[in-house]
């Protein structure tokens, strides 16, 4: 199945844009949920959120550069995701009732590493994630 260029944008790139927008909007308000009873629970949420972002970046990059190897995809995904995480922490420094936190950034980066690996190696094997017929 061949996807037309406008549909490729909608399927591969728009999810990255919308998810980044969701993170930005969520970061613009005081935290709505603070995980109770889970040590470092907010860090787990950061890790999960940025792992999802990394998977979305892998999808978009793999579509944009179909011949790219796993090393390129992993590196580019981690760099883009970590940079977005850094920009989000800087953004939070200017939001009332929020703050920039190096541990949140570390969780974002860990999520980027895990999500990039999952998007490149795990998802295609489990879900046929990148299969094009």
Tell me the pLDDT tens digit for each residue of 84-122: 999 999 999 999 988 999 999 999 999 999 999 999 988
Cα separation, 33 vs 48, whole angstroms: 15
Question: Is residue 107, in this structure, part of any structural domain at all?
Answer: yes
Cα separation, 39 vs 99, whole angstroms: 19
Q: What are phi and psi of 31, to 5 degrees?
A: -55, 130
Q: What is the reported pTM?
A: 0.85
Residues in the chain: 133
Give percent of the chain above pLDDT 70: 84
94 DSSP 8-state letter: T
Count Cβ atoms below 10 Å from residue 120 Cβ, excluding itself: 22
Tell me the pLDDT tens digit for each residue of 7-32: 888 889 999 999 999 999 999 998 76
Question: Is residue 123, in this structure, part of any structural domain at all?
Answer: yes
How many structural domains comprise the chain?
Answer: 1
Question: In terms of residue numbers, what domain contains 103?
Answer: 5-30+41-127
Q: What is the pLDDT of residue 95?
A: 93
Q: What is the pLDDT of residue 42?
A: 85
Question: Is residue 15, in this structure, part of any structural domain at all?
Answer: yes
């Amino acid at each position: 199945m061949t996807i037309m260029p406008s549909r490729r944008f909608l399927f591969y790139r728009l999810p990255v844009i919308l998810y980044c927008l969701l993170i930005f909007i969520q970061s613009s308000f005081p935290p709505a949920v603070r995980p109770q009873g889970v040590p470092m629970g907010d860090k787990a949420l950061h890790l999960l959120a940025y792992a999802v972002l990394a998977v979305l970046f892998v999808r978009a990059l793999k579509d944009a550069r179909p011949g790219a190897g796993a090393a390129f995809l992993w590196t580019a995904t981690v760099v883009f995701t970590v940079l977005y995480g850094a920009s989000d922490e800087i953004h939070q420094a200017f939001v009332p009732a929020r703050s920039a936190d190096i541990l949140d950034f570390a969780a974002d980066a860990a999520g980027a590493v895990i999500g990039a690996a999952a998007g490149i190696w795990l998802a295609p094997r489990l879900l046929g994630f990148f299969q094009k017929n």
